[in-house]
Chain A
């Protein structure tokens, strides 16, 4: 298996659950947040 596939799989495994975490109700609108952390 190529390393890129392993990395992508790890990203899905670790990142995907957080994407489906409960969000507040925005009155029927969908809100997608891009969080950028500064160094």
Chain B
């Protein structure tokens, strides 16, 4: 895992080359490539995106261009091969919802240049590839942090990249305006808990499944349970306040997330945004 280039970047290395989970910020691409170069001389073959936020996908184009397609140009037709293979660059794999969010097909200018857009978009809720003798599953989580979240599960390495569904540096960002919801966030965290297996009965043999958050430190299953419980408890407190007829301002004033602020509310605005997103999420449904 590479941290410090925007969102966390997952790096799988093997005989087929490098598979990345997310690409970080565009401005950090040179440093990311230099860090990968220190780990291996093999080229980047795939970038798999967990979401559509700039700190996770803006480096897509730079890192893909520095990589190499898995397809060879045996027929010698550069134009055709280029069209089929992202011009010889690494492939960018993501759920269609990520492509939709990045490309803004509603007529507005796209948020990202064409070279950063996914070259392989899928529609099903589960996709998979096999690279470096390892099955890699992409599991779509509808309506969590936003409407375009995926987990990337490396089944042999026993590592799952959670994207921004899990962020150990702050309260989860639930972007209601872009299709996120508190129930979807809880469902996604439950799925993450289900995927991760703790060590046992020999607890000294590693930490079990590694869970890579979108930001922050590497976690294990129990960390995700704690995080899920935090979201559940704050959600229930706010739900109760809504039932008692409190307004959003009154709820914010009552600090329903107070118990967790020292751990997750240190970034300016994080607590307010979290409380507000839960309120909106709970009051907009039905």
**B15 interfacial contact with A, CB 8 Å:** no
Docked complex Cα distance between A31 and B210 (Å): 15
B residues within 8 A CB of A29? 2-5, 28, 31-32, 35
Could you give 9 example pairs across A and B, Cβ below 8 Å? A8-B203, A27-B35, A29-B5, A29-B28, A29-B32, A30-B4, A31-B1, A31-B35, A36-B157
CB neighbours (8 Å) of B28 from chain A are 29
* Contact bitstring A7-34, B, C-beta under 8 A = 1, else 0: 1101100000000000010111111101
| A to B contact number (C-beta, < 8 Å) | 47
A15, B49: Cα distance in complex, Å: 32
Please tell me if the beta carbons of A11 and B204 are within 8 angstroms of each other in the complex. yes
For the complex, give the distance between the alpha carbons of A24 and B38 in Å.
8
| Residue-wise interface mask of B (2-31) relative to A, using a CB-CB cutoff of 8 A (1 in contact, 0 not) | 111100000000000000000000001001
* A8–B137 CA distance with the chains assembled, in angstroms: 32
Name B's A-contacting residues (CB within 8 A). Answer: 1-5, 28, 31-32, 34-35, 38-39, 156-159, 202-204, 210, 218
In the complex, which of the residues B32, B35, B210 has the most CB atoms of chain A within 10 Å of its own CB atom?
B35
Given the complex of chains A and B, what is the CA–CA distance between A24 and B40 in angstroms?
A: 13
- Name the residue of chain A whose CB is nearest to the CB of B3: A30
| Distance of B144 from chain A, by nearest CB (Å) | 24
Chain B residue numbers with a CB within 8 Å of A39 are none
Closest beta carbon of chain A to B146's beta carbon, Å = 26
Residues from chain A with Cβ under 8 Å of B31 in the complex:
26-29
Given contacts A31-B35, A34-B159, 18 further A-B contacts (CB under 8 A): A7-B204, A8-B203, A11-B203, A11-B204, A24-B38, A26-B2, A26-B35, A26-B38, A27-B35, A29-B2, A29-B3, A29-B28, A29-B31, A29-B32, A30-B4, A31-B3, A34-B210, A36-B157
Q: A residues within 8 A CB of B2?
A: 26, 29-31
A24 CA to B39 CA in the complex, in Å?
Answer: 10
How far is A8 from B156 in the complex, measured between Cα atoms in Å? 25
- Please measure, in the bound complex, the distance between the C-alpha atom of A28 and the C-alpha atom of B25, giving whole angstroms: 14
A8 B39 Cβ-Cβ under 8 A: no
- Residues on A with C-beta less than 8 A from B210 are 34
The winner among A8, A10, A27 for most chain B CB atoms within 10 A is A27
